[in-house]
A and B are shown apart, each in its own frame.
Chain A
Amino acid sequence: MRLAVYLICLSVSEVIWASDYSTQVKNIAIESAVDSYNLDANIVYSLSPVAKEALQKGIPLTWDVLIKVKQEGLLWDRTLDELVLNFQLQSHALLNLYSIKSVSTGRQDMFSTFAGALDYMSIIRDLPIINKALISPDQLYYVVVKVKFDHESLPVPIRPFSYFDQQWALSSSAKLCPIKN
């Protein structure tokens, strides 16, 4: 019930805050593996013309994929685990390549096409999100996935204005998915 209310609230907030260029989290699925629950998700990144131009001009764009495992509580829900995947997309004009760099791990992947780079960021497969030992069969759990565009990674001159510009409203709303144990 609470999850339903939460979903309704999120839907309403999505309607209010969502822009034409918001990232969308789609097809979340929680799969049970041997020791853990794994997340499958598809994320659709749609860049605004301004964002695309910025990317083409060599400005790196950074998204944080926030994944939270929550347990329903009486008054408020408890966060059991939290995971952040970050992607920094950058264009290299000379090499005609797009690089995707994980800020946390330092791993960098090069892509010859923009679509290839986006595809790489879009698909999350078999990502272990929580150990099964932490999940109690009597409790209700769910996963929240949200993609947040990092305005602070933008160059200083554009940073303050990006918060008020729909062209830079590239974050997604939160998407929920229950864990069936």
Chain B
Amino acid sequence: MSNKKLKFPVSLSIVFLFGLILLSLQLMTTATQESSELSDIYSWLLIGNSLGSIGLFVLIGINVYSLARELKKREAGSRLTTRMISLFVLLSIAPAAIVFYFSVQFLNQGIDSWFNVEIDRAMEDALELSAESLDQRKRLHLKQTQKLVKEVIGKSKTLIALEMGELLESVEAAEIALFSRQGHVIASESMDSNDILPLLPKEHVWLHVRQNQDYVAFNPAGDELLIQVIVPVADDEPRYLQVLFPVPMRIADLTDSIDFAFIRYQEMTFLRNSLKSSFILVLSLVLMLSLLAAIWVAFVSIRHIVAPVKELVRGTRAVANGNYRQQLSVVTQDDLGFLVESFNDMTLRIARSQDEITAASTEVEQQRAYLETVLANLTAGVISFGASYKIITANQAAYRILHIPVSHFVGQTLLDVIVRHPELTQLWESVQELLEEAEDIWQQRFTFLGPNGRQELLCRGTPLFSSVGERVGSIVVFDDVSDLIQAQKNAAWGEVAKRLAHEIKNPLTPIQLSAERLQHKLASELSEPSAKILQRSTQTIVNQVEAMKSMVDDFSEYARPSKKQVEYINLNLLINEILALYILQTDIKIVTAFSTENIVIEADAVSIRQVLHNLVKNAQEAMNDKGKIDIKLDKVVRNNTEYAEFSIYDDGCGLNEKQIETIFEPYVTTKAKGTGLGLAIVKKIIEEHGGVIWVDTTYNKGAGFVVQLPTVLI
């Protein structure tokens, strides 16, 4: 268990960001109030918060895009993240929208409640009252000024200047001044001794009064409010009397107060809709910024929460792909952390189990390989079958014995093999029958005609049972016992020959001698006809005894152990040498096809000569001394051994199947005069030299024999 500290899903930077957003929103809310000093930067705050919203929106957009790509790629944890974020957004937007709706409603109603007809009327009445009050004052001061004008009409400038002070005091004015038509000051007097120059009327005032109209207006002067009255003096030379009347402080204050309140109220009336929009804008911005920030934080937090789940999914996929050593880092100590630890524990156990399985599997594989090696090197053919009699394995010896690649038929039945190799139909059908029927070990001998002639197989088979007694397959082991049987036959014939030599040849000499003695003793004593009969009879006995002796000698020869004197023989030269004896003798055409390279064998030259003579003579006799003999000599490689292959084909009457089976057995002949030992002796010599001879059953124009003898390298 890792001892890492618990970490909050929200980092310090996010807290700082939230603080910044809150500060900005607070500043903006404060700036919304007109009186606030922050109102000067209201627009900047608005822009700042808008940019912040856009920034957050972009951030969320990037996160959404990233999540969409993860979803498209079906990345681990993307669907869980989507679900959690969707739920969060839904849960946060729904109440926020409700709050926003009711806030707007409340805002509108609140602002609307500020204004009503009664207040409007009261404000207007107050203003009208104030205006009326001021107007009365204006009218009063106009009348006073007009009275003063009457007093200055017709007076000289000097007199007027002297009376100015009295005039000022008479109307309790702040300042009095007389202007010429050109606007020059003729005379003036002020309550404030510091005022040297009177207030000069503005251009537009002059325009007004020069039209002989009275002018009355308020004129704010610093903190006090003055009423400026200018009345034309209808004299010879037009002059203008300006009197400034101060408005009492109390009235001025009240006027200011009413003016300010009215203006504020009017302003608020004018800004009524703008105020709503402004508050809604701020509210929207606050809500949007808060929501966007919350959603972004939700993205960050949920990714942080989902990270261990993602790791787990990744780890699970790795395990599914066979990586059982997958270990995940434990980043949290919560339930997910416990889950990750459990996962690590599980993968550790699986890895261990996997190691054990691998070790066991390796051992089994080694054993299997060893068994395969043993099977492959067995001289006996072994074929194993499954429960449905389909071939599971076949060793190399099976191919060597049957001359068909049995291993190529793995997964097929023997009946399927028959389709490709019909020559083995009888064999396979019998074996198939035994496989299906036998309940115990069986053994049977089969004979079939292979490419090298007749073959005898000794087959042993057994069904295979599982530990619960269920039949799971069977196995067949077979040996080619053709040579063994042939050897047994040869040995039997040798014994027969030896006994013949012993039992028959021994009495022949006395018989012959007795016959000759009878002839010698009785010829002179018998009459001529009887003597002739005796002579023919004894001669017949002697001839037949000679013939029997000759036959017994042949048998002795066949039965006698060979006395080989081995030497290197150039087979090309030897065959040519022997064929030379036959080429001119008869009408037989001998066609040879020899290998260009010399083929050398190590053998007894006399014996090999006898083999060749016997084979050529056999062919010659089979064609009745007329026809064609094809003789071939080449090198072949069998089982990594180089052989000299000598084959001889005639176009005689050929051999039937029965003859092929017994052609190499002694005393088997198709000729009238033959002893039937020629081919038997040939086979005996060939086998004594480690070779093999067989009837080429593929040749059907006559008889064909193939001889293979091991070559030597010089």
User: Which residues of A pack against B, CB within 8 Å?
Assistant: 53-54, 56-59, 92-97, 99, 108-113, 116, 119-120, 151-152, 155-161, 163
Given contact pairs A93-B266, A151-B43, A157-B277, a sample of 18 additional A-B residue pairs in the complex whose CB atoms are under 8 Å apart: A53-B270, A57-B263, A58-B262, A94-B130, A94-B134, A97-B217, A108-B220, A109-B202, A152-B40, A156-B31, A156-B33, A156-B278, A157-B274, A160-B42, A160-B43, A160-B281, A161-B274, A161-B278
Inter-chain contact B266/A159, CB cutoff 8 Å: no
Inter-chain contact B202/A95, CB cutoff 8 Å: no
Inter-chain contact A57/B267, CB cutoff 8 Å: yes
Residues of B within 8 A of A56 (CB): 266
Chain B count of residues within 8 A CB distance of the other chain? 36
**B263 CB, nearest partner CB in chain A, Å:** 3
* CA–CA, A159 and B271, complex, Å: 10
Inter-chain contact B127/A94, CB cutoff 8 Å: yes
Partner of B42, one of A113, A119, A159: A159
Partner of B270, one of A54, A93, A151, A159: A54
Q: Is B32 an interface residue (CB 8 A)?
A: yes
Given A94-B127, A96-B131, A116-B204, is A160 in contact with B278 using a C-beta cutoff of 8 Å?
yes
Inter-chain contact B267/A155, CB cutoff 8 Å: yes
Inter-chain contact A157/B127, CB cutoff 8 Å: no
Interface of A is mostly: mixed
Q: Is B258 an interface residue (CB 8 A)?
A: yes
* CA–CA, A165 and B26, complex, Å: 27
Residues of B within 8 A of A58 (CB): 262-264, 266-267
User: Which residues of B pack against A, CB within 8 Å?
Assistant: 31-34, 39-40, 42-43, 46, 127, 130-131, 134, 202, 204, 217-220, 255, 258-259, 262-264, 266-267, 269-271, 274-275, 277-279, 281
* CA–CA, A92 and B270, complex, Å: 15
* CA–CA, A155 and B31, complex, Å: 11
Residues of A within 8 A of B127 (CB): 93-94
Inter-chain contact A94/B34, CB cutoff 8 Å: no
* CA–CA, A155 and B40, complex, Å: 10
**A174 CB, nearest partner CB in chain B, Å:** 23
Inter-chain contact B262/A156, CB cutoff 8 Å: no
* CA–CA, A158 and B39, complex, Å: 12
Inter-chain contact B218/A95, CB cutoff 8 Å: yes
Residues of B within 8 A of A156 (CB): 31-34, 39, 42, 278
Inter-chain contact B271/A157, CB cutoff 8 Å: yes
* CA–CA, A180 and B227, complex, Å: 48
Inter-chain contact B270/A57, CB cutoff 8 Å: yes
Residues of A within 8 A of B217 (CB): 97, 110, 112
Given A111-B204, A152-B43, A156-B42, is A94 in contact with B259 using a C-beta cutoff of 8 Å?
yes
Residues of A within 8 A of B279 (CB): 157
* CA–CA, A156 and B29, complex, Å: 11
* CA–CA, A120 and B202, complex, Å: 11
Residue among A92, A93, A157, A161 facing the most chain B CB atoms (10 A cut-off)? A157
Given A57-B269, A155-B34, A156-B31, is A93 in contact with B274 using a C-beta cutoff of 8 Å?
no
* CA–CA, A42 and B249, complex, Å: 40
Inter-chain contact A160/B266, CB cutoff 8 Å: no
Q: Which residue of B lies closest to A120 (CB)?
A: B204
Q: Which residue of B lies closest to A96 (CB)?
A: B131
Residues of A within 8 A of B267 (CB): 57-59, 155
**B111 CB, nearest partner CB in chain A, Å:** 10
**A60 CB, nearest partner CB in chain B, Å:** 10
Inter-chain contact A160/B263, CB cutoff 8 Å: no
* CA–CA, A49 and B376, complex, Å: 111
Residues of B within 8 A of A161 (CB): 274, 277-278
**A75 CB, nearest partner CB in chain B, Å:** 31
**B275 CB, nearest partner CB in chain A, Å:** 4
Residues of B within 8 A of A109 (CB): 202
* CA–CA, A113 and B264, complex, Å: 21
Q: Which residue of A lies closest to B271 (CB)?
A: A157
Residues of A within 8 A of B220 (CB): 95, 99, 108, 110
Inter-chain contact B43/A155, CB cutoff 8 Å: no
* CA–CA, A58 and B265, complex, Å: 9
Given A110-B217, A155-B271, A160-B43, is A94 in contact with B262 using a C-beta cutoff of 8 Å?
yes
* CA–CA, A158 and B218, complex, Å: 31
Residue among A111, A152, A160 facing the most chain B CB atoms (10 A cut-off)? A160
**A40 CB, nearest partner CB in chain B, Å:** 17
Inter-chain contact A93/B259, CB cutoff 8 Å: yes
**B115 CB, nearest partner CB in chain A, Å:** 13
* CA–CA, A106 and B218, complex, Å: 19
Inter-chain contact A57/B43, CB cutoff 8 Å: no
Query: Which 8 A-B residue pairs are closest in the complex by CB-CB distance?
Result: A58-B263, A157-B278, A57-B270, A57-B266, A94-B259, A157-B274, A158-B274, A157-B275
Residues of B within 8 A of A54 (CB): 270
* CA–CA, A159 and B36, complex, Å: 15
**A155 CB, nearest partner CB in chain B, Å:** 6
Q: Which residue of B lies closest to A55 (CB)?
A: B270
* CA–CA, A56 and B34, complex, Å: 19
Residue among A116, A156, A161 facing the most chain B CB atoms (10 A cut-off)? A156
* CA–CA, A29 and B165, complex, Å: 48
Given A58-B266, A155-B267, A158-B274, is A95 in contact with B259 using a C-beta cutoff of 8 Å?
yes
**A50 CB, nearest partner CB in chain B, Å:** 9
Residues of B within 8 A of A158 (CB): 271, 274, 278
Q: List 6 A-B contacts (CB under 8 A).
A: A93-B259, A95-B259, A99-B220, A110-B217, A160-B281, A161-B278
Residues of B within 8 A of A112 (CB): 204, 217
Inter-chain contact B134/A95, CB cutoff 8 Å: yes
Residues of A within 8 A of B269 (CB): 57
* CA–CA, A94 and B263, complex, Å: 9
Residues of B within 8 A of A155 (CB): 34, 267, 271, 274
Q: Which residue of A lies closest to B216 (CB)?
A: A112
Inter-chain contact A94/B274, CB cutoff 8 Å: no
Residues of A within 8 A of B281 (CB): 160
* CA–CA, A42 and B479, complex, Å: 130
**A158 CB, nearest partner CB in chain B, Å:** 4
* CA–CA, A58 and B42, complex, Å: 21
Residues of A within 8 A of B219 (CB): 110
* CA–CA, A152 and B47, complex, Å: 14
* CA–CA, A163 and B263, complex, Å: 24
